[in-house]
Amino acid sequence: MTLGSEALGRVGSWWAKELGRWQGTWEAMTPDAGASPRWATQNRLEEVNDAVALRRFGEPQGEGLPVLIVTPQVNQSYIADFHARQSLVRTLLGQGAHEVGVTDWLPPPKRAYTIADSIDDIRACIARLGGRVHLVGPCQGGW
């Protein structure tokens, strides 16, 4: 079965329209080379230690447990709040979470650093959010 020229024309027209629709979004989402990472949502930054900081979004006072997003250490942490239209943080806040925290991994420390250290860092973030959280761990494959 082959596509006729009319069908190919419709596909091409649709594709051109989609590219135009997403062009401005793509440009807004693409950071400038060498620029600091941009977070889409206003947040507060707390230094935890030499390996991780905690980004806090929303209000610390509210009903229910806060949410902690533990981002992959191999990506920039702002992947959880990349753009106003592609933000796990905004989705969670919009669905009723009163506060969302995000691990903001720093460059590797100049000391031995193990998986156990990573777990301790996550526990330190949990403690700063009150000791109990809903834990979210997005995988890279899902982005």
- Please list the rounded mean pLDDT of every run of 10 residues in the chain (143 residues): 60 64 56 65 96 94 91 86 92 95 93 94 97 88 52
Task: Tell me how many degrees the CA angle 31-46-60 measures, rounded to the nearest 5.
Answer: 105
Q: Taking the alpha carbons of 77, 79, 81, 83 in that order, is the dihedral positive or negative?
A: positive
Predicted structure pTM score: 0.73
